[in-house]
């Protein structure tokens, strides 16, 4: 069994209404016009030019973000199945074996014979481990 298997979606595209698309493009056009105009008046009226530059960049940023958000494909969508490990221990000699989970495993199930003392081994734990980078770090 492939426990790390990831399934991909059939890549449907998020639909976008014409109204939103129109608003985005008008904002984008206005923002570019504002930027061009700001460059032209920069020598004559610096204060007004900077306001226009600010508005222009803001408009470009917002409309680009909205455009990317709406065109984002759902192909990245995945159900991630984390790897699960099974710990098998020998109660007699303490030999421990950690392997990938197999269907039919359960905690306190008797497993194969111990490689060292040939006694029956026991499944003592089944768990998944989350890597440190996935854990949230907070000061509180």
Partner 1 sequence: MCSEGEFVSITAAILALQNDISQGPLGDTSINWILNVLFYVIFVVFIFYGQRIQTYVMIREVESSLYKLKYIKEEGRKITIETIKEIGKPQTDPTSRVDRFMEYFTIAPQGLDPAGIVWKLEHILDVRDTRFKDEVKLMAPSADETQTNNLENTLEAEMALNFIYKVIRHFYLLGKKTLSLYVIMQIQMILPMIMKEAEAYASALKAFAYGQPIGDGAGALVAAKLMHGYASTKIEKDCVIATVPFEGRTAFVIKAEGPGGNVGKPGDAVKEVIEENNGKIAMVVMIDAALKLEGEGLGEVAEGVGAAIGGPGVDQFKIEEELLKYHIPINALVVKEDIGDAVSPLRKEIVDSIDSVIERIKQVVKERTKEGDKIIIAGVGNSIGIGQ
Site residues for partner 1 per CB under 8 A = 1, 7, 9, 12, 14, 17, 19-20, 30, 33-34, 37, 40-41, 44-45, 47-48, 51-52, 69-70, 72, 74, 77, 79-82, 84, 101, 103-109, 125-130, 138, 140
Residue 101 C-beta: closest distance to partner 1, Å:
6
Residue number, 42 or 93, with CB nearest to partner 1: 42
Question: For residues 41 and 56, is the Cβ–Cβ distance under 8 A?
Answer: no
Residue 120 C-beta: closest distance to partner 1, Å:
13
State the Cα–Cα distance between residues 13 and 131, nearest whole angstrom. Answer: 32
Structure-token match 């530059």, residue found? 53
Task: Write the CB contacts of 91 (distance below 8 Å, at least 6 apart in sequence).
Answer: 119, 121, 122
């Amino acid at each position: 069994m492939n426990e790390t298997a990831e399934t991909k979606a059939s890549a449907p595209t998020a639909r976008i209404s014409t109204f939103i698309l129109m608003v985005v493009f008008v904002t984008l056009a206005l923002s570019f016009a504002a930027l061009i105009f700001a460059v032209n008046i920069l020598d004559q009226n610096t204060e007004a030019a900077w306001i226009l530059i600010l508005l222009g960049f803001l408009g470009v940023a917002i409309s680009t973000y909205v455009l990317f958000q709406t065109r984002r494909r759902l192909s990245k969508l995945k159900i991630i199945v984390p790897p699960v490990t099974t710990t098998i221990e020998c109660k007699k000699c303490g030999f421990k074996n950690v392997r990938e989970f197999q269907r039919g495993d359960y905690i306190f199930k008797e497993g194969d014979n111990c490689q060292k003392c040939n006694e029956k081994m026991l499944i003592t734990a089944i768990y998944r481990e989350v890597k440190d980078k996935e854990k949230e770090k907070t000061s509180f």
